[in-house]
Each structure stands twice: as C-alpha cells, then as structure tokens.
Structure 1
Amino acid sequence: MVHPIKVQLNDLMVKREEFEADVSLRSERLDAAGVGLHGSLLDKEGYPRADIDIMSIRTDRKRIAELTNDHKSVTNQIEKLIQELHAATKDSKPSHDRPSAPAASTTDKPPEQSNGIAAPVPAGRPVHAAQYSRPLAVVDGVSEASPASRAGIQVGDALVSLGGASWESGTISLQQIAAAVQASEGKEVPAIVLRQGETVSLKLTPERWAGQGLLGCHLRPIGDTTRG
C-alpha cells in the first residue's frame, strides 16, 4: 500500500511541474515579443508601443509573478512532507531493525585524495553515515526515465556525496553540485544518499536525455547549503 504522504507528494510534484511549464510558455512569449519580464512597453516618446500586444504582455507578467509565488509555496509543502515521510518511516521501523550508530574512530573519516579533497566512494561499498554526516540537498522530484531515476534515486533521498562532491570536500552550494555534474557528463560517478535513516551507495551517469538537465531530478538545499 502506498503511503498517503507519498500520494500527496506526487500530487504536489505534478502541480509544481504544471507551474513550471506555464511559466516557461509565458516567458517564451515575452521573449519573442522582445520585452521579457522587465522590458519597457513605451516607445521613445513615452507612448504605448504599437508593435506589441501590451494587454497580453501585462497578463503574462502578472501570471508569472503569481505562478512564482505558487511554485515557492508548493515547494515548501513538498519539503515539509518529505520531512514528515522520513519521520514516519523511521518511527514505523522496529527498534531492532534500526542500524546502531558506528563507534567513532579514525576510519570513519572520508577517504582523501592527494589534494586533500574527499575522494568518491565506489558504488556498492558499505559506507557509514558518519563519513558523510551532513547532507548537501534533499531530492524532492525525480522525472521518469531520467538518469537519476535509472540510477535508483528516489524522492526524499538526502544527497550527501556526488562524484566526490560533499560537505567535507568543501561543496556547500547547489551551484557547486551543478558544476560537478557538468564536469562528469557521460561518466559514471558514485553517489551516496541517506534514505530512511540508512546510507545507500549508487552509480549515476549525468547525460543528455529527453528532459531537462543532465540528471532529471530536483534538489532542494538543506540549511546552510544555500550559502555561495
């Protein structure tokens, strides 16, 4: 039986995708008119331009502003539900099934390359959560048939490492994650996520596909990861 929170998450993600598609369509119309979101609708003499449909442009601009606010609201709801799903799943597991915290030791530190940056952990290798204790972002959307979906990434996963990019290696923003993804296009890279309190090692290949981006998943910053 599908968890009711997952049903709500799916509905909200569909709604968010509809918002994004609507914004994209209206933005394309504004760009085609040569005015965008902020271009002037007046001519050099200060009169309304006769070469554009001012009413339609104003309507699109207003609707984009509304959709942007709606998108932000839905994204916040998705993030809240993901947290609730994590808590509900964790609480539903018998105590004897929950992994105990590993004892602190020097072996719990991430492996390092010669340059001091945390090295990627091969997919399939057991990984202690203590090695990557600070997630970079949470996955709040995965497109069907995308590279992320094929790799086994799921909504609610907390991304802690991607191709060696982690908090420990100095990665603290989604821009840095995006740069790491771009640099790994067409190459298989290890990814580590926290899922329902457990650490999962995956193999991911960023590549062009039918949808947008190289991964096909939407990442939401966690706490301080929004810092540039």
Structure 2
Amino acid sequence: MVLNKMNPNSENAIEKTLQIMNDKGKLEKEIDDLYRVLESNNVGMNESLIDDDGFPRNDIDVYQVRHARHRIICLLNDHKLIMEKIAEGLNKSLPSRSNTSSTQNENNYCDIKLQDLEPFASVTLVSPNSPAQACGLEVNDMVLQFGSVNSSNFRNMQDIAAVVRYSQGSKINVVVKKKGRNSHITLELFPKTWSGDGLLGCKIDPVEAVER
C-alpha cells in the first residue's frame, strides 16, 4: 500500500475536527433529551396534536411536544452540517491511499474489501417501496457496518436506532455481505419518512456471535 505524504496543515485540521466531534457529542445529547420529551408524552415526530374534534389533545403537553419537534428538526439540520464538516476535516487530515479503488455498478453500490469486519446484524424484513428497498437492502443481507456502528463497537439495536435518528434525510453508508457473494458491498441508505412505518422500512436483528 502506498500512502501519500501528510498534508502540512493536517495537524491543525485534526485539532479542528476533534473540536467539531466534541460539538457533535453535545448536539446529540440535546437531541436525545428532546426525544425523551416526546417519549414522555407517548408521541413521536409525526403524530397529530389535535383530537378528532379538532381541539388540542388533552393527553399530552401540546406546547412542549411542538417545541421539542421544532428543536429536533433544527438540531438534525445542524447535525448534518457537523457530519459534513467532520468528513471534510478527516479528508484533509488523513493521507489518501493511492492504490485502492472500487467499481460502481448499475445498482449503485460498490464491491470493496473489508476483511476485518464481521457481521453483527442481519436484515430480516424489507418493505416494498421503502427507503431500505430503494438503497438495495434485501432479506438475509448480513450487516458488517451501519454508519459508525460495526462489530467492534456494537452493543444493541439502540446503536443503529441512534444512527438512523441522527441521519434523517442524510446518507448512511451500510456495508453488507449479500447471500452468495464473497465480497462486501456498500449501500447508500437515506432514512426518511415514507408511506410506511419508521424511517427505513426494514427490520434488522442482531446476530449472535456463534452465528457469525
């Protein structure tokens, strides 16, 4: 493997990127706190705040829910910008590999070599016309990486839920191993509201270590 020389400004770029990552952590904590406000009212981002007669619901704090939803939307937009800045900072600070390549095919995914990754989850359901189906996810796909989550840091399915939550409207790179293929594939998943439930339209279950 041949590595290019490090950018002279890489040290400064790393410092700035670390600060941005610290800001990212604070932002995600605030988003989590706001989602807990919604959970305490037994609502999510899309449920109606009025009853069948057109009056504000009396079983929830309508003002609190409305404020939390608005703030979440604003913070998710900020989170998207922060993730873009982090990616830009990493590109500036890390040396590029000159002898690696990947080939894009007609299904909008790349064959890549990621020998160190192990499957930690599997796709058990994909709904028609869902974001998951649109990106190329299929039942029996073995998940090796889901955004920043992989077998080395995966704890439970809440890790994946958090990635989806913070990435609504943004791209998540999902590395999978498809049945009958020896190579790994990277899919570009865009969580968003659609006609079905959730933001993905699929079910992903953890894989026990003995099944890997």
TM-score normalised according to structure 2 size: 0.48
Which protein shows a greater Rg? 1
